[in-house]
Amino acid sequence: MSKGCELLSKGLKHKFKGLEHKISRGKKYFSSRGKLFFVKDKINKNAIFFFLLYFFRTFAPQMKRFIILTIFCTFASLLKTSAEKWYSLEQPNNGYFNHVDGAFTAGTTGLGFDLAFPLKNWGRLRVGGVWRPRGKYSDTYAVHMDNPEAYWGQFSAFASTFVGVKPEKYIEMEGKSSMNHFKMLIDIFPIKNHRNFHVTVGFFWGTHDYVTATNTPISSNTIAAIKTYNTIRQKALNNEDIDLSFIGINMQSEDAQEIKQKLYNKLIEMGEVSIPLGEKTDENGLTHVVNATINDKDVIEVKATVNRFKPYIGAGYEIPITKDKRTTIGVDAGILIWGGKPKVKVFEGLSNVAGQNTPGYLRSADKYPVYPEASIRISQRIW
Amino acid sequence: MVKKHIISLISCMLLTTPTMAEGKFHRFLTTQSVSDRKWFNHIDVAGTIGTSGLGFDIAFPMSEWAQLRIGGAWMPYLHFDPSFGIEVAENLPKDIQGSKFNKIADEMQSILGTRPELNVKMEGDASMSNFKCLVDIFPIKKNRNFHVTVGFYYGNTDFITAAVSPYSMRNMTAIGALNSLYKKALSDKTASVIDAEGMGITIPEGVSFENTNKKLREWGETGKTVKNRDDLYGKEVENKLHSENAFSVAIGHYSHNIVAKEDIYYDYSAELDNPYNEQIGTDNQGNPVYREVRYQLDENGRPIVKGGIRYHKGELMHKSGDPIRMAPDENNQISVSGRGWWKFKPYIGVGYSVPITKDKRTTLGIDAGITIWGGTPAIDVKVPLGQDAAGNAVYNTINLVKDAKSMPNSVDKYVKLVKLLPVMPEISIRIAQRLW
């Protein structure tokens, strides 16, 4: 009985051994073709699929959380790795600067390039530049007058005389945003023998005025008209003299004095002409209108400024896209720290901003102390 | 020198290509196998960078010896800022112009709130975007390193736009305002230049604007006088010649004679009869040149000059060497624009590419060729000439590339550059990746 059992178990063992042998041969067969990962990864793929399905069903209305979880799951499944995996990256020799990779990047800070050098097996130095093409916006702000029905025509006649063109009922602002940066980043590989995932620290150095907006040249006429009108009206309020001798009018004559007084009375009656930007509540809780300031060059100017030196912190993931693993594609995500809130003097603390098309990042720039950076990077080993 | 180097480099590449294919560089240089290339059975994507800007393309094999590339190229905005001087009247020495302008500027400051200056800065952008469709032909059998390319680019023709910088507009509004007062004074010697009625102010009776208008007209006096045959009184009157605009923006000199392409009137909006001929100068042979002037009579029976034909069709408008003067338009603007001629631009060129990865799926290439865009582009400025019969402003378009010389340096360098470009040279680097 026992012998019989032994024989049976031996036979089974033998059979199992044969099977094991076959499996190991199969493994070799598959791995020698470089296709084993398909077999192995089926489990992983299924896992990811069910994860995605589950989260899609649960979180479909909250897409943001869904996207975050998807990325997390993908990373988590890929993190568990070995050197054989198709997505694993070459381990560099244990030295500094013994390779150079050249890379193109595209992302929220613009188009760029970098050169990357290994720092032993724990890190990598990336040095490069990034340039965001100019973004543009345009917006209009209405010209305000207390009683336009009665006085706009008269204001227009005033402008035709003193500026040579009729004013428009609005002014147009044109904004340009640009970002040009030098960058120096250190990628740290926190997981031993695994270079796919990295944490990045470093800095960007560059742009100071990241948004500059001015009125359009055509609107300069309206602005000149408003400034001239308000300048002369101020003289009227202060009862100062006006010098028109350059157009041959002798202001000492009785006629000239009479015309001047009529003009002054008219200007005071018509009231101030302004360009309201928004409303501001002061410390007493009173809301008052904030008007655009025309600078000494007769320009309305809005500037958003940030520190030139911007620390960066982020993380990234990279996989090879060629069999020789010399070409890779990666994603990086992180934050650029402005180093203090952006300064936008004009819109600071304003509510009910008049322009409808002024971008949110400018209207309420002081609410964003960081700039999100997300980029794709294609890299090629040079040597 | 540079040409020589390029030619020798290309000929070296051409000569060495067939031999290298056989030699020891064979493995390194040859691109992927040639025989499997059939109609659209692979796709390569590529990024390009070159004289036509940044671009991309998608490439498909068409047969063993040809490849189709379709993509786009986009030249980012190049920013430039030409600047011009403001000229007071015509043919006056610079120091007199300066002192005349400074006096006016000082006095204007109290009214405008800012002091105008004697220069105008412009801001210009140049950009080009093109769709491209190119066919690479591989003339050497079983070698895909070297190719000849034919195809076309299709894109914008207006590639430069420039306008006065907002920071310089105060100078433009100032000279625009002064010109408008000057023109009113020029067309009517006694009427009020101030639109008092429009402002709701009544001018006291008996107030004369004769002195005001005389002072305003002085701004545009050229220093030249001319004898007018006054038909009305049957005698000759010596008059000071006035410029069209008291203040203009100087942009260089005409390089050849410019004639009128159509009849050009000035201030023709009033109902005018009573034509008479006014001498406006002499021609090259010393004969008097007249122009037709139309006028109305005032209540005292004196003629008020109102307008007439400025130039007859075919008449000489600007002599070679005359200064080119731009004046602010109805928006107090001057504009400069650059344009090519053809939207459809044929391309012909050569290229060379090598693989840069061991699997040969990534390649690096260089392409050089020419895009034919219909000749040297034009850089146009609009010079005001007066009004047409309907009272609309008429401008003469002057092409700075053909019609102008001795321009300010900040403009001349761009004009010189454009003159070098009867065809657009295209040199680009291309990195391609096989997708499948």
Angle ∠(B301,B306,B311) on CA atoms, nearest 5: 135
Rounded percentage of chain A residues whose pLDDT exceeds 90: 18
Q: Which residue has the higher pLDDT, B1 or B93?
A: B93
Q: In this predicted structure, which of A21-35, A364-378, B45-59, B155-169 has the lowest mean pLDDT?
A: A21-35
Rounded percentage of chain B residues whose pLDDT exceeds 90: 16
Where are the strands (E) in B298-414, listed by range? 303-311, 316-318, 323-326, 335-339, 344-355, 362-371, 378-387, 393-399, 404-405
Q: In this predicted structure, which of A234-238, A333-337, B381-385 has the lowest mean pLDDT?
A: B381-385
Instruction: Read off the pLDDT band of A205 (50, 70, 90).
Output: very high
**What is the chain A residue with the closest CA to B434?**
A322
Q: Which residue has the higher pLDDT, A39 or A152?
A: A152
Measured between beta carbons, the chain A residues lying within 8 angstroms of B163 are 217
What does the block give as tokens for A246? 């350059």
**A133 vs B194: CB contact, 8 Å cut-off?**
no
Q: Of B177, B33, B34, give the one whose Cα is nearest residue A229.
A: B177
Number of H-type helices and E-type strands within chain B: 7, 24
Measured between beta carbons, the chain B residues lying within 8 angstroms of A136 are none
Q: Of B104, B195, B113, give the one whose Cα is nearest residue A230.
A: B113
Q: Of B48, B53, B111, B65, give the one whose Cα is nearest residue B424.
A: B53
Dihedral in degrees, nearest 10, Cα atoms A317, A321, A326, A332: -20
d(CA B144, CA B141): 8
**Number of Cβ within a 10 Å radius of residue B317:** 17
**What is the chain B residue with the closest CA to A263?**
B201
* Average pLDDT of the segment spanning B382-406: 78
Instruction: Read off the pLDDT band of A97 (50, 70, 90).
Output: confident
Q: Pick A297's closest partner by Cβ from B170, B194, B204.
A: B170
Angle ∠(A328,A329,A331) on CA atoms, nearest 5: 140
**Residue B53: alpha-carbon gap to chain centroid:** 22
Measured between beta carbons, the chain A residues lying within 8 angstroms of B181 are 161, 164, 247
Q: Establish if B334 touches chain A: CB-CB under 8 angstroms.
A: no
Q: In this predicted structure, which of A30-39, A196-205, B193-202, B248-257 has the lowest mean pLDDT?
A: A30-39
Rounded percentage of chain B residues whose pLDDT exceeds 70: 76
**B332 vs A228: CB contact, 8 Å cut-off?**
no
Q: In this predicted structure, which of A123-132, B72-81, B205-214 has the lowest mean pLDDT?
A: B205-214
Q: Establish if A17 touches chain B: CB-CB under 8 angstroms.
A: no
Chain A from 186 to 215: CB within 8 A of any B CB: 214-215
Whether A2 maps to a domain, the answer reads: no
Q: In this model, does residue A82 exceed pLDDT 50?
A: no
* Average pLDDT of the segment spanning A222-232: 89
Q: Which residues lie across from B434 on neighbouring strands? A: B44
Q: What is the pLDDT of residue B184?
A: 80
**What is the chain A residue with the closest CA to B360?**
A322
**A224 vs B169: CB contact, 8 Å cut-off?**
yes
What does the block give as tokens for A24? 């190991």
**What is the chain B residue with the closest CA to A153?**
B198
Judge whether A153 and A192 are in contact, CB under 8 Å. no
Domain count, chain A: 1
Whether A225 maps to a domain, the answer reads: yes
Angle ∠(A227,A229,A232) on CA atoms, nearest 5: 105
Q: In this model, does residue B154 exceed pLDDT 90?
A: yes
d(CA A284, CA B258): 69
Q: In this predicted structure, which of A163-172, A183-192, B97-106, B401-410 has the lowest mean pLDDT?
A: B97-106
Q: Distance (Å) from the C-alpha of residue B123 to the closest C-alpha of chain A? A: 10
Q: Which residue has the higher pLDDT, B112 or B116?
A: B116
d(CA A103, CA A125): 13
Whether B257 maps to a domain, the answer reads: yes
**B199 vs A263: CB contact, 8 Å cut-off?**
yes
> Hunting for tokens 């896992």 — which residue is that?
A47
Give the helix/strand (H/E) hosting A136.
strand A123-142
Instruction: Read off the pLDDT band of B16 (50, 70, 90).
Output: very low
Whether A254 maps to a domain, the answer reads: yes
Containing structural domain, residue A217: 94-383
**A164 vs B195: CB contact, 8 Å cut-off?**
no
Whether A138 maps to a domain, the answer reads: yes
Distances (CA, A) of B335 to A202, A217, A377, B252, B331: 45, 11, 42, 15, 11
Q: What is the pLDDT of residue B210?
A: 80
**B170 vs A262: CB contact, 8 Å cut-off?**
no
Q: Which residue has the higher pLDDT, A58 or B393?
A: B393
What does the block give as tokens for A257? 């004095």
Distances (CA, A) of B319 to A197, B87, B91, B258, B414: 73, 18, 14, 7, 24
Whether A81 maps to a domain, the answer reads: no
* Average pLDDT of the segment spanning A212-223: 88
Give the helix/strand (H/E) hosting B162.
strand B158-164
d(CA A318, CA A195): 8
pLDDT in tens, B72-89: 998 877 788 888 888 887
pLDDT in tens, A18-69: 555 555 544 444 444 444 333 444 444 555 555 656 655 565 555 566 566 6
Q: Which residue has the higher pLDDT, A133 or B167?
A: B167
Chain A / chain B CB contacts < 8 angstroms: 162
Domain count, chain B: 1
**Number of Cβ within a 10 Å radius of residue B384:** 21
**A322 vs B112: CB contact, 8 Å cut-off?**
no
What does A347-374 look like in DSSP terms, one character per residue?
A: TTT-BS-S-SSS-HHHHTGGG--EEEEE
Measured between beta carbons, the chain A residues lying within 8 angstroms of B47 are 104
What does the block give as tokens for A210? 């990241």
Q: What is the mean pLDDT of chain B?
A: 78
List the alpha helices (DSSP H) in B192-254: 210-218
d(CA B89, CA B219): 7
Q: Which residues contact A188 (CB under 8 A, 6 or more apart)?
A: A122, A123, A198, A199, A200, A201
Q: In this predicted structure, which of A69-73, B330-334, B363-367 has the lowest mean pLDDT?
A: A69-73
Whether B36 maps to a domain, the answer reads: no
List the alpha helices (DSSP H) in chain A: 2-32, 36-59, 63-79, 148-162, 219-238, 254-270, 360-363
Q: In this model, does residue B260 exceed pLDDT 50?
A: yes
Q: Which of A90, A111, A149, A161 to mutate to test the interface with B (most CBs of B within 10 A)?
A: A161
Whether A7 maps to a domain, the answer reads: no
Q: In this model, does residue B432 exceed pLDDT 60?
A: yes
Whether B358 maps to a domain, the answer reads: no
Q: Which residue has the higher pLDDT, A248 or B134?
A: B134
d(CA A105, CA B355): 21
**What is the chain B residue with the closest CA to A297?**
B167
Measured between beta carbons, the chain A residues lying within 8 angstroms of B173 are 163-165, 220-221, 224, 298
Burial class (CB in 10 A: 0-12, 13-18, 19+), A229: buried
* Average pLDDT of the segment spanning A140-146: 89
Q: What is the pLDDT of residue A277?
A: 82
Q: What is the pLDDT of residue A345?
A: 65
Q: Of B59, B84, B83, give the one whose Cα is nearest residue B71.
A: B59
Burial B338-369 (b: 16+ CB within 10 A, else e): bebebeebebbbbbbbebbbeebbbbbbbbbb
Q: Establish if A180 touches chain B: CB-CB under 8 angstroms.
A: no
Q: What is the pLDDT of residue A3?
A: 55
Side-chain-facing half-sphere of B115: CA atoms under 13 Å:
9
**B103 vs A246: CB contact, 8 Å cut-off?**
yes
Rg (CA), chain B: 31
First to last CA, chain B: 43
Distances (CA, A) of A268 to A148, A156, A235, A264, B404: 14, 16, 10, 6, 50
Q: Of B156, B125, B129, give the one whose Cα is nearest residue B414.
A: B125
Q: What is the pLDDT of residue A26?
A: 45
Q: What is the pLDDT of residue B104?
A: 81
Instruction: Read off the pLDDT band of B359 (50, 70, 90).
Output: confident
List the alpha helices (DSSP H) in A248-307: 254-270
**B332 vs A259: CB contact, 8 Å cut-off?**
no
**What is the chain A residue with the closest CA to B121?**
A217
Instruction: Read off the pLDDT band of A253 (50, 70, 90).
Output: confident
Chain A from 311 to 370: CB within 8 A of any B CB: 321-324, 326-327
* Average pLDDT of the segment spanning A80-103: 71
Task: Determine the residue type at B98.
Answer: G
Q: What is the pLDDT of residue A95?
A: 76
Q: Establish if A163 touches chain B: CB-CB under 8 angstroms.
A: yes
Q: What is the mean pLDDT of chain A?
A: 77
Q: Distance (Å) from the C-alpha of residue B286 to the closest C-alpha of chain A? A: 37
Q: Pick A247's closest partner by Cβ from B103, B204, B215.
A: B215
d(CA A297, CA B224): 36
d(CA B291, CA B386): 14
Q: Which residues lie across from A312 on neighbouring strands? A: A202, A336
Q: Pick A298's closest partner by Cβ from B114, B176, B431.
A: B114
Q: In this predicted structure, which of A81-95, A130-144, A260-274, B394-408 has the lowest mean pLDDT?
A: A81-95
What does the block give as tokens for A273? 């002409």
Whether A20 maps to a domain, the answer reads: no
* Average pLDDT of the segment spanning B260-277: 61
**What is the chain A residue with the closest CA to B204?**
A255
Instruction: Read off the pLDDT band of B334 (50, 70, 90).
Output: confident
* Average pLDDT of the segment spanning A252-261: 80
**Residue B120: alpha-carbon gap to chain centroid:** 16
d(CA B194, CA B181): 8
Whether B391 maps to a domain, the answer reads: yes
Q: Establish if B11 touches chain A: CB-CB under 8 angstroms.
A: no
What does the block give as tokens for A328? 């890779």
Q: What is the pLDDT of residue A364?
A: 62
- Determine how β-strand A309-320 pairs with β-strand A197-206: antiparallel
Q: Distance (Å) from the C-alpha of residue B308 to the closest C-alpha of chain A? A: 23
Q: In this predicted structure, which of A149-163, B288-302, B345-359 has the lowest mean pLDDT?
A: B288-302
d(CA A184, CA A309): 11
Angle ∠(B191,B196,B202) on CA atoms, nearest 5: 100
Q: What is the pLDDT of residue A41?
A: 41
What does the block give as tokens for A69? 């979880």
List the alpha helices (DSSP H) in A60-126: 63-79
Q: Of B350, B388, B383, give the one whose Cα is nearest residue B366.
A: B350
What does the block give as tokens for A164? 């040579």
Q: Which residue has the higher pLDDT, A63 or A119?
A: A119
Whether B262 maps to a domain, the answer reads: yes
Q: Pick A154's closest partner by Cβ from B165, B198, B212.
A: B198
Q: Distance (Å) from the C-alpha of residue B247 to the closest C-alpha of chain A? A: 13
What does B262-282 look like in DSSP terms, one character per residue?
A: S-EEES--S--EEEEEEEEEE
Containing structural domain, residue B113: 78-135+156-194+215-341+373-422
Q: Which of A130, A171, A220, A322 to mutate to test the interface with B (most CBs of B within 10 A)?
A: A220
Q: Establish if B204 touches chain A: CB-CB under 8 angstroms.
A: yes
Q: Pick A327's closest partner by Cβ from B77, B194, B362.
A: B362
**A164 vs B181: CB contact, 8 Å cut-off?**
yes
pTM of the entire predicted model = 0.70
* Average pLDDT of the segment spanning A343-372: 68
> Hunting for tokens 């995500």 — which residue is that?
A333
